[in-house]
Amino acid sequence: DVQSSIPEPQREAWTKFAPQRFAKAEDFQRDAVRHVETSLARSMYNCDEAAMYAGTALAFRDRLVMDWNKTQQAHTFADQKRIYYLSLEFLMGRALDNAMLNVQQKDVAAEGLSGLGFRMEDIIEQEHDAALGNGGLGRLAACFLDSLATLNYPAWGYGLRYRYGIFKQEIVDGYQVEVPDYWLDFNPWEFARHDVTVDIQFYGHVDKWQDENGKTKCSWEGGEIVKAVAFDVPVPGYGTSTTNNLRLWGSKAASGEFDFQKFNSGEYESSVADQQRAETISAVLYPNDNLERGKELRLKQQYFWCAASLSDIVRRFKKTGRAWKEFSSQTAIQLNDTHPTLAIPELQRILIDIEGLEWDEAWSIVHQTFAYTNHTVLPEALEKWSVGLMQHLLPRHLQIIYEINLQFLQYVERTFPKDRDLLGRVSIIEESNPKMVRMAFLAVIGSHKVNGVAELHSDLVKTTILKDFVKVYGPDKFTNVTNGITPRRWLHQANPRLSALIASKLGGYDFLKDLTLLNKIEAHVDDAEFRKEWQAIKLANKERLARHVHETTGITLNPKALFDIQVKRIHEYKRQQLNIFGCIHRYLAIKAMSAEEKKKVVPRVTIFGGKAAPGYWMAKTVIHLINKVGDVINNDPEVGDLLKVVFIEDYNVSKAEFLVPASDISEHISTAGTEASGTSNMKFVLNGGLIIGTCDGANIEITREIGENNIFLFGNLSEDVEELRHNHVFGTYQLNESLAKVFDQIQNGKFGDASQFSALVNAIVDHGDFYLVSDDFESYCQTQDLIDESYKNVDEWTTKSITSVARMGFFSSDRCIDEYAEVIWNIEPVAPTKTDFAVDLA
Ligand code: T68
């Protein structure tokens, strides 16, 4: 914008005073102190850790913003194809540590803080997690943003600015209690763009008329308007000046603060109520993972966010002055699951109703633009919306969906004239009562590529839920992009000492940008000093976790014990129940031992963490059982240090950062074929932990990469699941004997009121054991015994640990993003600008 830019002769002063890189600790101190004094209006007499966190965050934010602005200018100037990542969840966690590390100024800040009387660890701890997600899907989106920026791709994330993220979990008498997570009291990482707003329409009706050329036109009229306001969050890449944007939409009443007419006529309450109703849209994150409940407010959230994002994307494209036919060569939009599927009919609506394009021309743009990532094959998680609700809330979109469906079905009928049943099976509209719109089908039809998130999962997508679409479109539309994780947060930030040890052998930190370089540490696997430090780091990480457990629960852990960790959302398919039944089995075995036998036992600490969806009663029962079993075992003097069972309250991203580096073994034990990928499995192995797992999700590819001697696999295979389930229902099966003994204890009241846990037991004994806990129990327990044996051999264990880390290069989210860029998006990076602040490693 020429008119508002600083004239050439005056730019020198501007350049001179723009924030620069901290050359020394003092530079950081100057800015941090200034922010505490002026931005916070505090002084050295009332600067606590929270205030110092704020000063530090603001000092770094100043720098980030410089690179952010320059990146956005450079991307506009480059005028290349951009990728927009639409996700209803971004589980970002804390930003400060990540920002300091990505711009490689954490050391300078640590020195500066120490000079002001603060410790870096304490300051970092002050930050509230940005917890705008449930679990793996939301964290994947956050890892992707980190990689997109690090790899210099011109990319934006689009999401919702929830006032309440995922609830905080408290454990009261062994039960989960949900507490609201209000996280916006002080958030230095977002910039409200009150000038960037979009009016979003709901309800109303469709008008149809003929234009001057006799062409039938439609427009969506009436209803109500809610305003979307942009909040922007900078996303710095590692070792590059590229700083991308995450745009989160907040909702607000369209009429501003109040409806003044109502207000002046005395209807104060109802005018405030309108405002609150509008703000409700972005008020709270739905706390269900892998479950859909069909609530109207959820559909409103989805449309609100899709419509605001699309309007923004289209506005940016129109500024380039290009012709519409270039839209899809300039714009790629990735749909993170089916949650943003309404973006498909919304873009079609914009193009035909507002921009005046013909249907066919518009549709070819739409379906070239979008691509869809599927994250689950579980039927209860597949999104469906009733036709009635859609008609009421989005009447024009329903018409467009019907037209998309009609044209698609006509195509199917022409191509497969003999297969009448096929039409019903692939129709977007499920002919049930009530009729439902199947969002995954709409997403497939409106996208040019569909991917699963690990090989087995992508195969299952093609052979189960989308089988008929493979027949219709051929196999090339369907692909796999195995998930990845960012090594910056999940190695360098979470485990700085391990990262430093690796860097010392590799001659620097290049592996953080090219994780395949890790394979060079395999050459040091026999280096005695290296192995000693490797072991010492794991022990130190376990000691740190033990301190946390002691401080929060009073339970004392022996850091030399085998630490066995299962942290993830609580879900029947993830089978925390298998783990806790295994703990009871182990407990019974210890109780039956002689003093001599006990001496041979490998002491074990089993740690659980994870939230249950508030309405998921069975998952809450599992949490309750874990806590009750822990109470009994942890206080049994006959067991002592041989077994402890701990539940970590309120598992979140920042807790993962100290749990992941502290595991010897972690559990990824879903019923085969149910976990799409899993990503914490990758995090644990990258930090030198071994895993016990089923042949499911990315466990299979982890095995292929690290070698089957380095992983403890057990259990039935995905191809056998159907038959096993059948056997349960039709009686050719017997409850596993050891498991029966575990159930006896539960039913005898050993862990408190047995009736509390009867549903859990009955699901297995009486209701078909859908998740095959009994079928896998024997193999699970035997594998745990094998793990004990292996752990006794410290040398062998250390070799497995180092070898596994060396072979984990494939699981960087950088590899994953490069695959998306090449196979799905067809986009190229933009050379980062030279700035005073970021150092370019390359
Ligand atoms: C997870 N899905 C998969 N869903 O379960 C996991 N669902 O295997 C995979 O690694 C990960 O996605 C990344 O691909 C989820 O986390 C949800 O959280 C979710 C949220 C709302 C509605 C449905």
Rounded distance from Cα 249 to ligand 1 centre (Å): 22
- For residue 833, tell me if it sits in a domain: no
Residue 261 pLDDT = 64
Across the chain, what does the average pLDDT equal? Answer: 96
Q: Give yes or no: 606 in active site.
A: no
**Residue among 249, 262, 363 at smallest CA distance from 301:** 249
Pairing of strands 82-86, 331-336: parallel
Does the beta carbon of 678 sit less than 6 angstroms from any atom of ligand 1?
yes
Q: How far is it, in rounded angstroms, from Cα 309 to Cα 340?
A: 10
pLDDT at position 555 over 70: yes
pLDDT at position 182 over 60: yes
Does the beta carbon of 287 sit less than 6 angstroms from any atom of ligand 1?
no
- HSE, side-chain direction, 13 A CA sphere, residue 425: 16
Q: Which parts of 200-285 fold into alpha helices (H)?
A: 260-264, 268-280
- Please report the beta strands in 269-320, taking only residues with DSSP state E, as ranges in sequence order: none
- Residues 457-484: what's their mean pLDDT? 98
DSSP state of 174: T
Is 722 in the same domain as 663?
A: yes
Residue 834 pLDDT = 78
794-801 CB contacts, 8 Å cutoff, 24+ apart:
794/535, 797/664, 797/690, 798/531, 798/534, 798/535, 799/525, 800/690, 800/709, 800/710, 801/534, 801/538, 801/688, 801/689, 801/690
Rounded distance from Cα 703 to ligand 1 centre (Å): 22
Is 578 in the same domain as 433?
A: no
- For residue 85, tell me if it sits in a domain: yes
Does the beta carbon of 381 sit less than 6 angstroms from any atom of ligand 1?
yes
Is 182 in the same domain as 122?
A: no
Point out the ligand 1 atom lying closest to the alpha carbon of residue 675: 8
Q: What is the pLDDT of residues 122-165, one digit of tens each?
A: 999 999 999 999 999 999 999 999 999 999 999 999 999 999 99
Is 115 in the same domain as 233?
A: no
Residue of 568, 586, 655, 800 marked active site: 568
pLDDT-derived band at 548 (thresholds 50, 70, 90) equals very high
With a pLDDT cut of 70, the percent of the chain lying above it is: 98
pLDDT at position 3 over 90: no
- For residue 255, tell me if it sits in a domain: yes
Does the beta carbon of 676 sit less than 6 angstroms from any atom of ligand 1?
yes
Rounded distance from Cα 677 to ligand 1 centre (Å): 9
pLDDT at position 2 over 60: no
Tally of structural domains, the chain: 3
Q: What is the pLDDT of residues 700-735, one digit of tens each?
A: 999 999 999 999 999 999 999 999 999 999 877 899
- For residue 827, tell me if it sits in a domain: no
**Exposure string (b/e) for 23-44, b if CB count within 10 Å is 16 or more?**
eebebbbebbbebbeeebebee
Q: Whose CA is nearest to atom 21 of ligand 1?
A: 289
Q: What is the pLDDT of residues 740-755, one digit of tens each?
A: 999 999 999 999 999 9
Does the beta carbon of 140 sit less than 6 angstroms from any atom of ligand 1?
yes
- Residue in the structure block whose two tokens are 């874990």: 626
Does the beta carbon of 697 sit less than 6 angstroms from any atom of ligand 1?
yes
The CATH number for 779's domain is 3.40.50.2000
Q: Give yes or no: 568 in active site.
A: yes
pLDDT-derived band at 14 (thresholds 50, 70, 90) equals confident
Q: Give yes or no: 247 in active site.
A: no
Instruction: Please give the C-alpha separations between residue 354 and each of 209, 306, 311, 357, in angstroms, as whole numbers.
Output: 14, 16, 11, 8
Residue of 375, 477, 585, 807 marked active site: 375
Is 238 in the same domain as 171?
A: yes
Rounded distance from Cα 123 to ligand 1 centre (Å): 32
Rounded distance from Cα 397 to ligand 1 centre (Å): 27
Q: How far is it, in rounded angstroms, from Cα 27 to Cα 22?
A: 5
Is 290 in the same domain as 435?
A: yes
Does the beta carbon of 453 sit less than 6 angstroms from any atom of ligand 1?
yes
Point out the ligand 1 atom lying closest to the alpha carbon of residue 291: 23
Q: Give yes or no: 375 in active site.
A: yes
Q: Give yes or no: 318 in active site.
A: no
Q: Dihedral sign, CA of 154, 158, 164, 167?
A: negative
Cross-strand partners of 479: 451
pLDDT at position 11 over 90: no
- For residue 264, tell me if it sits in a domain: yes
Q: Whose CA is nearest to atom 2 of ligand 1?
A: 137
Does the beta carbon of 136 sit less than 6 angstroms from any atom of ligand 1?
yes
End-to-end CA distance of the chain: 32
pLDDT-derived band at 842 (thresholds 50, 70, 90) equals very low
Q: Count CB neighbours of 170 within 10 A.
A: 12
Look up residue 57 and give its two tokens.
Answer: 């965050």
Rounded distance from Cα 780 to ligand 1 centre (Å): 25
| Cβ atoms of residues 244 and 145 within 8 Å | yes
Q: Whose CA is nearest to atom 13 of ligand 1?
A: 137
- For residue 662, tell me if it sits in a domain: yes
- Residues 55-59: what's their mean pLDDT? 98
Is 186 in the same domain as 114?
A: no
> Among 450, 480, 510, which residue terminates a domain?
480
Give me the torsion for CA of 798, 802, 804, 810, rounded to 10°: 170
Point out the ligand 1 atom lying closest to the alpha carbon of residue 678: 10
Is 481 exposed, middle or buried (CB count within 10 Å of its CB: 0-12, 13-18, 19+)? buried
- Residues 520-541: what's their mean pLDDT? 98
Residue 7 pLDDT = 84
Is 36 in the same domain as 85?
A: no
pLDDT at position 262 over 70: no
Residue of 683, 728, 800, 807 marked active site: 683
Is 437 exposed, middle or buried (CB count within 10 Å of its CB: 0-12, 13-18, 19+)? buried
- Residues 523-552: what's their mean pLDDT? 98
Residue of 42, 63, 349, 569 marked active site: 569
Instruction: Please give the C-alpha separations between residue 27 and each of 19, 32, 45, 105, 149, in angstroms, as whole numbers.
Output: 10, 9, 22, 11, 26
DSSP state of 767: S
Is 510 in the same domain as 576?
A: yes
Rounded distance from Cα 343 to ligand 1 centre (Å): 20
pLDDT at position 18 over 80: no
User: Phi and psi at residue 601, in whole multiples of 5°?
Assistant: -75, 135
- For residue 793, tell me if it sits in a domain: yes
Residue of 63, 574, 611, 644 marked active site: 574
What ipTM goes with this model? 0.99
Rounded distance from Cα 138 to ligand 1 centre (Å): 7
Does the beta carbon of 146 sit less than 6 angstroms from any atom of ligand 1?
no
Q: What is the pLDDT of residues 784-821, one digit of tens each?
A: 999 999 999 999 999 999 999 999 999 999 999 999 99
Q: How far is it, in rounded angstroms, from Cα 158 to Cα 166?
A: 18
Residue 1 pLDDT = 43
Give me the torsion for CA of 817, 820, 826, 831, rounded to 10°: 0
Rounded distance from Cα 675 to ligand 1 centre (Å): 9
Q: Whose CA is nearest to atom 20 of ligand 1?
A: 289
With a pLDDT cut of 90, the percent of the chain lying above it is: 92
Q: Give yes or no: 679 in active site.
A: yes
Q: Whose CA is nearest to atom 15 of ligand 1?
A: 137
Domain housing 38: 1-78+95-128
Mutate to test the pocket of ligand 1, among 288, 289, 694 (most ligand atoms within 8 A of CB): 289
Is 155 in the same domain as 259?
A: yes
Does the beta carbon of 375 sit less than 6 angstroms from any atom of ligand 1?
yes
Look up residue 493 and give its two tokens.
Answer: 């930030």
- Residue in the structure block whose two tokens are 């989960």: 176
Residue, of 789 and 8, whose pLDDT is higher? 789
Q: How far is it, in rounded angstroms, from Cα 827 to Cα 335?
A: 16
- For residue 835, tell me if it sits in a domain: no
Rounded distance from Cα 137 to ligand 1 centre (Å): 4
Residue 841 pLDDT = 43
Q: Whose CA is nearest to atom 12 of ligand 1?
A: 137
Point out the ligand 1 atom lying closest to the alpha carbon of residue 698: 10
- Residues 324-334: what's their mean pLDDT? 98
Q: What is the pLDDT of residues 439-451, one digit of tens each?
A: 999 999 999 999 9
pLDDT at position 837 over 70: no
Is 122 in the same domain as 236?
A: no
How far from the centroid of its chain's Cα atoms is residue 161's Cα?
A: 15
Q: What is the pLDDT of residues 87-111, one digit of tens each?
A: 999 999 999 999 999 999 999 999 9
Is 389 in the same domain as 262?
A: yes
- Residue in the structure block whose two tokens are 């970002």: 92
Residue of 679, 694, 783, 835 marked active site: 679
Q: What is the pLDDT of residues 267-321, one digit of tens each?
A: 777 778 888 999 999 999 999 988 888 899 999 999 999 999 999 999 999 999 9
